[in-house]
Amino acid sequence: MSTFKLVRDVYRLHGVRGFYRGVTASYYGSAETMIYFVLYERLRLSIGHWRGMTMDEDRRMFDFLVFMLASAVCKSTACCLAYPHGQSVKRKCRLIDRLYTILSLYMQYIAKAD
């Protein structure tokens, strides 16, 4: 099947809205990245304040290791908060089921199923 035929079939079956199916699930899937960056920036600033660091100051190897540890903690936290639910939502959104066409309904379904 060519790309043109696929686009034509999606338009014919679902209209313009068919091209945007799953977009909200993709936005939810990016929540992990948003959580990570917010946590990391807050932790990085707190560590810098705690260590009395300025932006122009030369960093030592210890500082590099502390920031790497901070990054690992933030990534682990973000994964625990968002990843399992994000993957469930994305998996459910890939199913073409007319009963669950709104993201909030997917979330309610997942909460009941899990």
Note whether residue 64 is domain-resident: yes
104 is a domain residue: yes
Structure tokens at 69: 């540890």
| Count of CB atoms situated within 10 Å of the CB of 32 | 20
Distance from CA of residue 69 to its chain's centroid?
A: 21
Asked if the model's pLDDT at residue 99 lies above 60, the reply is: no
CB-based contacts of 53, cutoff 8 Å, min separation 6: 47, 59, 63
Give domain status of residue 66, yes or no.
yes
**Four-residue CA torsion sign, 104, 107, 109, 111:** negative
Alpha-carbon distance of 107 to 81, in angstroms, equals 15
Predicted model pTM: 0.58
Is 3 a domain residue?
A: no
> Is 9 part of a structural domain of the chain?
no
Q: How many domains would you assign to the chain? A: 1
- The model's confidence at residue 73, banded by pLDDT at 50, 70 and 90, is very high
Residue 42 lies in a domain: yes
Does some domain include residue 11? no
Tell me what pLDDT residue 4 has. 87
Cα Rg of the chain (Å, integer): 21
Find the domain containing 79 and state its range: 20-113
Residue pLDDT, tens place only, 74-83: 999 998 888 7
Domain assignment of residue 28, yes or no: yes
